Amino acid sequence: MTGASGVGKGTLRELWLRDQNVFFSVSKTTRQARPGERPGLDYHFVTEEEFVAELAQNGFLEHAEFAGNRYGTPKGPIEAALASGQDVILEIEVLGAMQVRQQSSEAVLIFIMPPSLSELRRRLEGRATENQAQIERRLTRAREEILEAHNFDYVVMNDDLERAVLDMHAIQRAERSRSSRISREALKQIVES
């Protein structure tokens, strides 16, 4: 999942993944925790030194800088989840999504779209977790990110939240039905059953 800061990724994801046995990847970030954010559940909050050390050990599947902070997806937990057959959900910005696309032909890239820039501003200001300068920085980046939406497999408009949740379920169902996801062995089992 990718989309401008404040578009509603976190809100949408909580509703979409409720009651699902999928693995949500908890990123590492050098950003300060916001009030109410739960270390280890929302993010692993790390120092610049810790981030660089993990990078040097090739510990990230992808990583990027966003609005002055660094973010990365720890590789180990994802490999373990995939090996156990779980679907893995990443909530990352555009540059990271492109790195994932290069590494995995199986990745499904979904761009969450705001109805308008003015509504995005309203949501960021309403959330009240960033100061005005940080909000402006995120809106500038949002314009650039939105223009990258054509590089994604799907675009989900987050105007009406309930409908956007249904769209996420629809994409998930369609992707799970792709013929390329059925193994030769599974086909043989059906023929021989």
Ligand X SMILES: Nc1nc2c(ncn2[C@@H]2O[C@H](COP(=O)(O)OP(=O)(O)O)[C@@H](O)[C@H]2O)c(=O)[nH]1
Ligand Y SMILES: Nc1ncnc2c1ncn2[C@@H]1O[C@H](COP(=O)(O)OP(=O)(O)O)[C@@H](O)[C@H]1O
Residues near ligand Y, by CB under 6 A:
3, 5-11, 123, 126-127, 158, 161
Report the residue number, 7 or 46, with the smaller CB distance to ligand Y. 7
23, 38 contact by CB (below 8 A) = no
The one of ligand X, ligand Y, none whose footprint includes residue 8, by CB under 5 to 8 A per kind, is ligand Y
Largest CA distance in the chain: 64
β-pair type (110-113, 23-24): unpaired
Q: Rule CB under 6 A: say whether 114 interacts with ligand X.
A: no
Instruction: Consult the annotation and say whether 67 binds a ligand.
Output: no
Q: Which of 12, 89, 92, 142 is the binder for ligand X (CB under 6 A)? A: 92
Cα(94)–Cα(3) distance, integer angstroms: 8
β-pair type (44-45, 28-29): parallel
Q: Rule CB under 6 A: say whether 72 interacts with ligand X.
A: yes
Piece of the chain touching ligand X by CB under 6 A; list 86-94, 109-117, 153-161, 168-176: 86-94
Number of H helices, E strands in the chain: 8, 9
The one of ligand Y, ligand X, none whose footprint includes residue 126, by CB under 5 to 8 A per kind, is ligand Y
**Residue 27 one-letter amino acid:** S
* Residue 98 φ then ψ, to 5°: -65, -35
Q: Rule CB under 6 A: say whether 5 interacts with ligand X.
A: yes
Of the chain, the end-to-end C-alpha distance in Å amounts to 38
Residues 38-67 that bind ligand X (CB under 6 A): 62-64, 66
Q: Rule CB under 6 A: say whether 158 interacts with ligand X.
A: no
42, 26 contact by CB (below 8 A) = yes
Measured in whole angstroms, the distance separating CA 175 from the mean position of its chain's CA atoms is 17
Piece of the chain touching ligand X by CB under 6 A; list 47-55, 92-100, 170-178, 180-188: 92-100
Report the residue number, 54 or 66, with the smaller CB distance to ligand Y. 66
Instruction: Consult the annotation and say whether 36 binds a ligand.
Output: no
**Region at 5 (left for phi over 0; alpha for psi -120 to 50; beta for the rest):** beta
CB nearest ligand Y: which residue? Answer: 8
Sites of contact with ligand X (CB under 6 A): 5-6, 10, 27, 31, 62-64, 66, 71-73, 91-93, 96
